């Protein structure tokens, strides 16, 4: 039966090729003008049907459909004479050996990687600048004096480990080099952004001020810089993590006579009043007694400084807010 379907398949293929080349040949079959489309559909269906029927029909006896070759007849070899004459016990032993499964010599399995124990990547240590950028930055809103500032969010900060000459303590006079220390603080911190480090043992002082080491956004360590340049003492009254480091900076500043350690400034003694560190002016005053009647000397700070007058503190008749441009409590400041 399969041969009939194969023959049908071959005829359909030939008709399809001829019909596509010369469709007029099949004019009678299609009762009129035959088109290539009609011919293609008709014989295409026949080709498809013949293929399906060929596949579904049983293969001829003795024919292997997969290899398209006749099945080979099994060759039965005659049993040797010595096998026929052997006792049944020997044959049973041979059969038992033949039926014993032979374990194949397979190659060793490849090791399976355990994805659960993945080696963690090496953690790259951050540089100092990267650590600084990760910290919270605060805007400096006011420089009170050399060791006290105000920042956004937190308010007043008392800087750990440094002590600068007083400029605003009502119980003390303006101390030697206090004005210079205050001006240096303003130079380094005014309008800057800073990040903070704290002493884990004590974060606030008895006045409720936050205690902190202050670093500028560019990495300048302000507390240490003031000691190095001779604008602040290492504050040894209260121990803190960087006390030994600050003491070394102070020794270097003293040996090099920087800032208030110089002989022509305070010689290291900042407890004395600032006026005692300045020589008294010997310039005669060209001001009449009538102008000095109530103790107030009219004029601008520039004109008063030319006469050797200035540094008027609050309470002095010559102190006015208009003369105190920076609002630090001292009018007509003289360096």
Instruction: Measure CA 161 to chain center.
Output: 32
51-to-6, 39, 63, 192 alpha-carbon distances in Å:
8, 18, 18, 89
Provide the 10 A C-beta neighbour count for residue 307: 15
* Catalytic, out of 168, 209, 258, 323: 209
Cα 174 to Cα 53: distance, rounded to the nearest angstrom: 117
* Catalytic, out of 158, 179, 216, 333: 158
Active site residue 166: yes
* Catalytic, out of 166, 179, 216, 333: 166
Active site residue 120: no
User: In 94-119, which positions are buried (b, 16+ CB within 10 angstroms) versus exposed (e)?
Assistant: eeeeeeeeeeeeeeeeeeeeeeeeee
Cα 260 to Cα 162: distance, rounded to the nearest angstrom: 14
Active site residue 158: yes
DSSP 17: H
The label of the residue with tokens 């102190």 reads 319
The residues annotated with a catalytic role in the active site are 158, 166, 209
């Amino acid at each position: 039966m399969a041969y009939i379907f194969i023959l049908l398949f071959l005829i359909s293929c030939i008709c399809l090729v001829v019909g596509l080349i010369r469709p007029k040949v099949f004019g009678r079959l299609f009762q009129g003008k035959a088109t290539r489309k009609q011919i293609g559909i008709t014989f295409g269906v026949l080709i498809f049907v013949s293929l399906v029927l060929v596949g579904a029909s049983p293969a001829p006896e003795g024919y292997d459909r997969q290899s398209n070759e006749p099945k080979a007849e099994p060759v039965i070899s005659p049993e040797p004479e010595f096998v026929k004459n052997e006792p049944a016990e020997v044959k049973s032993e041979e059969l038992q050996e033949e039926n014993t499964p032979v374990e194949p010599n397979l190659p060793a399995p490849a090791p399976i990687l355990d994805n659960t124990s993945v080696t963690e990547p090496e953690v790259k240590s951050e540089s100092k600048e990267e650590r600084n950028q990760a910290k919270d930055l605060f805007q400096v809103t006011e420089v009170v004096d050399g060791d006290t500032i105000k920042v956004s969010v937190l308010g007043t900060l008392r800087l750990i480990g440094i002590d600068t000459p007083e400029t605003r303590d009502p119980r003390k006079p303006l101390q030697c080099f206090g004005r210079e220390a205050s001006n240096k603080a303003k130079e380094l911190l005014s309008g800057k952004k800073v990040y903070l480090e704290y002493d884990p043992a004590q974060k606030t002082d008895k006045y409720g001020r936050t205690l902190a080491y202050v670093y500028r956004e560019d990495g300048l360590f302000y507390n240490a810089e003031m000691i190095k340049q001779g604008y602040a003492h290492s504050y040894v009254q209260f121990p803190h993590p960087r006390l030994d480091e600050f003491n070394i900076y102070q020794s270097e500043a003293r040996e090099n006579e920087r800032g208030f350690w110089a002989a022509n400034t305070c010689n290291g003694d900042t407890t004395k009043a600032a006026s005692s560190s300045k020589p008294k002016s010997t310039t005669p005053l060209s001001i009449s007694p009538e102008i000095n009647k109530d103790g107030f000397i009219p004029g601008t700070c520039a004109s008063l400084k030319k006469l050797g007058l200035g540094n008027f503190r609050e309470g002095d008749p010559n102190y006015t807010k208009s003369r105190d441009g920076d609002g630090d409590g001292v009018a007509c400041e003289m360096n």
